[in-house]
Amino acid sequence: MISPDAKLNPKLFDKDVELKPIRNGYGEGLVMAGEKDSNIVVLCADLTESTRSEEFSKKFPERFFEIGVAEQNLATVAAGLGVTGKIPFISSYAAFSPGRNWEQIRTTICYNDSNVKIAGAHAGISVGPDGATHQAVEDIATMRVLSNMRIFVPADAIEAKKATIAASKIWGPVYLRFAREKTPIITTEKTPFVPGKAVTLWESKASTKKPKAAIIGCGPLLYEALIAAKELDEEGINTIVINMHTIKPIDESAIVSAAKKYGAIVTVEEHQVIGGLGSAVAEVLSKKLPTPMEFIGLQDTFGESGAPNELVAKYGMSSKHIKSAVKKVIKRKK
């Protein structure tokens, strides 16, 4: 059943569930944060409309800087602003920032602990027709390894707005990851969002006799995880679905607690299984409580052009595949 504490969208499982691009929440959050703090500035790499920086540029033109197609410059200019009292947000496609300018992010932003927020839009395979060159599926891994970096992967547009506002209040580098396509609204304005603290979205009614496993996910694929959990519940399999919206610093206590109670873990992410959320969870459990795991995500492969939903299914990240992974990890537990 849906966790009452999560306060999720009551129409979550309806056929006409509201769909909205996650990046819209970034645009809304920028404006709200900018209204409260005049030190917030926004820089973009010639993708103002696509990254949803447009509304901020219209409302605060004196605090908006169009850098052009020069992602390395985007990062270094922001790094300078970030050590002089400003709170710069930089935005581009994730394939280009942090993809193209990773070294500048490392050396000028992270090494100096500059107060820069990096918004990577159009992340994941659901970018769709743009194909593998524009489908950033390695960005969590490359950002996670950087010292001083924090990482937020919001589940929907509402959570993206909260994450953007939260990032503006945290000192130091933050990476915000957004999908391109319209995705289901999972949360509500009342759903908790605390950086570094996971949220339980679903938990089956307790039964010691039923097989069980925990699902830990991030981003828009949490919708697929919730569909899978509902169907598994109907099949007599208990699950918990945890929204690990903060990949770094990760909520170790939530991971260990789920492992202790459910004895098996499935991680779900629209990212390579190498180096992403699944790897982060495995690192925690290898130290504190070794637990059988299965990993939903890109299996060491590039994507291709296609419709977003078709790509999610082809590359094994749909609710059907999540259900299979849960059943597989339960067998391994035995």
Active-site residue, selected from the candidate residues 28, 55, 71, 270: 71
- Torsion, Cα 187 191 193 194, to 10 degrees, reads -150
- Counting every residue written for the chain, the total comes to 334
- Sheet containing strand 87-93, edge to edge, reads 64-66, 40-44, 87-93, 117-121, 174-177, 150-152, 246-248
Longest dimension (CA), the chain: 62
**87-93/64-66 β-pairing:** unpaired
Encoding tokens for residue 60? Answer: 């605060």
| 71 is an active site residue | yes
* Residue labelled with tokens 């130290």: 287
Q: What are phi and psi of 262, to 5 degrees?
A: -110, -20
Separation between Cα atoms, residue 19 and residue 186, nearest integer Å: 9
Provide the annotated active-site residues. Answer: 71
